[in-house]
């Protein structure tokens, strides 16, 4: 919540500081001292504060429109001309609404002798335009450009994380052990049950297709991630039989929520990779939703033989989540179970194509 209002709070502070400094600079020029204050000055300070605050807020909208909004598509010198013109028109309009109109409606009515000189009006318009342009180009636009550059950097980092996740998933799937075991299972099925062999081959192709398709996406719906997981589960059940038992219980109400692609499949694979299983001591893997998070839980049965691991799977998943939420991937290990909780994100589909 604090981060959401931080830009506006910064604008409030900047408007207050600028108002005091500029106003008392003018007081010093006219009076020769800054030790001068009365109720009229207080009123003018308040008016100047709201005028500058309005300038800063307007500048932020203009900057976003020209750097990342629809007007960012304009190219060439016309963009600079249109951008500067928009700032000037905005400042003149705000000056009219926040200075001239209140002056005519309040001061002029209260004191018939007050005369609003045309020169003073023109000077106010010119000063407000110059001040608006100054703060726009040296404060607001510079800040917005830095934020845009930071966002591009984050996007590049996310691209690297996605590529690394895709590569990691593909490496795990095409390593000699997985491919050898899958082809052996397929070869056996061809002679025993051709129909089941065809289904096995189809699910194997679905796993590879899903892994390749997810490479250009930052988030995918849980429904799509479950499709990949179900194809992978079918392969594992065909290979291991009842030695590895899966239980997937995800209500349909959660299927539209988002998570990083291949994250569920990677957790299933890690559970099988790092745990042994037999018919008498099967490996139980459960997938369910609790407190808005996707839970992957398995009983601990560490393998006796050494398992080669890059140890980046969980770190990769956690890193990708950091781009979209402050919620953390929760990892817990008890005496008998290993549990990973993945936050489910209620956001619009986020897809990026990378060249």
Q: Would you list the domain boundaries of the chain?
A: 2-153, 175-343
Mean pLDDT of 3-7: 62
pTM of the predicted structure, to 2 decimals: 0.53
Predicted pLDDT at 25: 72
Q: Which of 161-175, 244-258, 307-321 has the lowest mean pLDDT?
A: 161-175
Predicted pLDDT at 94: 83
Mean pLDDT of 36-45: 66
How far is 342 from 289, CA to CA, in rounded Å?
A: 9
Mean pLDDT of 239-246: 91
With tokens 């992978």, the residue in question is 232
Tokens of 209: 């297709």
Predicted pLDDT at 337: 93
Model confidence at 157, pLDDT cuts 50, 70, 90, reads confident
In CATH terms, the fold of domain 175-343 is Heat Shock Protein 90 (3.30.565)
Looking at the chain, the whole-number percentage of residues with pLDDT higher than 90 is 18
Long-range contacts made by residues 18-26, C-beta under 8 angstroms, separation at least 24? Answer: 18/52, 18/135, 19/45, 19/48, 19/49, 19/52, 20/45, 22/48, 22/131, 23/48
More confident residue, 250 or 142: 250
**How many CB atoms lie under 10 A from the CB of residue 249?**
9
CA end-to-end distance (rounded Å), the chain: 35
Mean pLDDT of 112-135: 63
With tokens 């290990």, the residue in question is 333
Q: Is 139 exposed, middle or buried (0-12, 13-18, 19+ CB in 10 A)?
A: middle
pLDDT in tens, 46-100: 777 787 788 878 877 887 787 777 777 777 667 778 878 888 888 888 888 877 7
Question: What is the secondary structure of 121-136 as a DSSP string?
Answer: HHHHHHHHHHHHHHHI
How far is 224 from 230, CA to CA, in rounded Å?
A: 10
Q: Is 353 exposed, middle or buried (0-12, 13-18, 19+ CB in 10 A)?
A: exposed
Closest CA to 275 of 301, 248, 246, 250: 301
Determine the length of the chain: 355
Tokens of 289: 């939703």
CA dihedral 175, 178, 179, 183 (to 10 degrees): 170
With tokens 């996707």, the residue in question is 294
With tokens 């996605």, the residue in question is 162
Main-chain phi, psi angles of 306, to 5 degrees:
-70, 135
Which helix (H) or strand (E) segment holds residue 259: the answer is strand 258-259
Model confidence at 112, pLDDT cuts 50, 70, 90, reads very low
Predicted pLDDT at 266: 86
Predicted pLDDT at 46: 75
């Amino acid at each position: 919540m604090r981060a959401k209002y931080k830009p506006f709070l910064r604008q409030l502070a900047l408007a207050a500081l600028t108002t005091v400094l500029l106003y008392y600079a003018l007081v010093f020029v006219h009076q020769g001292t800054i030790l001068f204050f009365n109720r009229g000055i207080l009123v003018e300070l308040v008016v100047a504060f709201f005028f500058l605050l309005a300038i800063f807020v307007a500048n932020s909208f203009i900057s976003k429109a020209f750097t990342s909004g629809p007007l960012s598509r304009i190219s060439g010198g016309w963009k600079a001309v249109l951008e500067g013109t928009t700032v000037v028109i905005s400042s003149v309009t705000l000056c009219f609404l926040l200075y001239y109109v209140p002056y005519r409606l309040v001061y002029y009515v209260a004191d018939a002798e007050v005369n609003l000189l045309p020169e003073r009006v023109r000077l106010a318009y010119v000063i407000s335009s110059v001040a608006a342009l100054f703060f726009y180009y040296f404060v607001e636009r510079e800040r917005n450009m830095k934020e845009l550059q930071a966002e591009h950097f984050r996007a590049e980092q996310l691209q690297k994380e996605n590529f690394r996740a895709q590569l990691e998933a593909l490496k795990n799937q095409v390593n000699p052990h997985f491919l050898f075991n899958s082809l052996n299972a397929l070869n056996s099925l061809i002679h025993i049950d051709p129909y089941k062999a065809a289904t096995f081959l189809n699910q194997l192709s679905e796993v590879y297709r899903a892994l390749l398709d997810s490479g250009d996406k930052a988030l995918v719906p849980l429904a799509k991630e479950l499709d990949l997981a179900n194809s992978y589960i079918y392969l594992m059940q065909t290979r291991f039989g009842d030695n590895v038992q899966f239980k997937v219980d995800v209500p349909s109400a959660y299927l539209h929520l988002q998570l990083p692609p291949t994250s569920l499949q990677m957790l299933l694979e890690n559970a099988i990779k790092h745990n042994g299983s037999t018919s008498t001591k099967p490996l139980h893997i459960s997938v369910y939703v609790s407190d808005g998070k996707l839970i992957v839980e398995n009983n601990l049965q560490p393998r006796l033989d050494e398992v080669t691991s890059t140890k980046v799977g969980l770190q990769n998943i956690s890193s990708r989540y950091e781009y979209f939420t402050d919620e953390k991937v929760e990892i817990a290990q008890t005496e008998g179970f290993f549990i990973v909780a993945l936050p489910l994100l209620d956001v619009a589909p986020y897809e990026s194509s990378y060249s």
